Amino acid sequence: MNRRIALRHLALISGGLIMIPSCDFSKEDILAAYQNLNITQSQKNLLAAVSDTIIPAGEIKGALDLEVADFILVMVNDCFTKENQGKFSTGLAAFPEYVKSTAGKNFDALSAKEKEGIILSGAKLEGDDTEEGKKNGAISYFLNSAKRFTIQGYMASEYIQTEVIPYSLIPGEYNGAVLITDLQKPRVNG
């Protein structure tokens, strides 16, 4: 190996090692999939926890299992106006602080009943023209929008439409001699 090449590689490696301590790796990256929103991965995880609290898993899959948080973010990113996107993002960013001041713990550390109570009380907050009132209004807007899109995304998911409530585009044939007790799963007809 040529000495010049070896010295060049050594200089590049040592220069790189000197630069590493100055790099700030603590800052969270903004998710690029939602170009109109400034959402981080931790905020997306919080939104997933909120949607899982709204529709938890039981005998059937819950909102977290069906990844409804992605549906919510896509709907907000694509369908909301800039003003409403900002209000949603502000509410999402202010929600952890609201939970900490109300319950004294992080949202993940709360029990299921406490999470439900926080979401219900947060959805009823009213805003006014003060800075705190605007933050409360944004939190309420965020929670109400998340609830609406959680239900919509959950009910429109492939799992619900194929396994829980089978969707039939055209209604089946009419048979008047069938007893109600003999009926199978309900069909949702479009």
Per-residue pLDDT tens over the stretch 17-68: 666 665 555 556 666 667 888 888 999 999 999 999 999 999 999 999 999 9
Structural domain total, the chain: 1
Q: How far apart are CA 155 and CA 163, in angstroms?
A: 12
Does any domain span residue 102? yes
> Is residue 10 situated within a structural domain?
no
pTM: 0.74
Name the helix (H) or strand (E) containing 188: strand 188-189
Beta carbons within 8 Å of 38's beta carbon, 6+ residues apart: 30, 89
Check: CB of residue 172 under 8 Å from CB of residue 190.
no
Which contiguous run of DSSP H or E holds residue 168? Answer: strand 167-168
CB 44 within 8 A of CB 68: no
The domain in which residue 40 lies consists of 29-165
Q: Is residue 1 part of a domain?
A: no
Query: Is 184 inside a domain boundary?
Result: no
pLDDT, tens digit (0-9, with 9 covering 90-100), for 92-131: 999 999 999 999 999 999 999 999 999 999 999 988 888 8
What share of the chain in percent tops pLDDT 90? 58
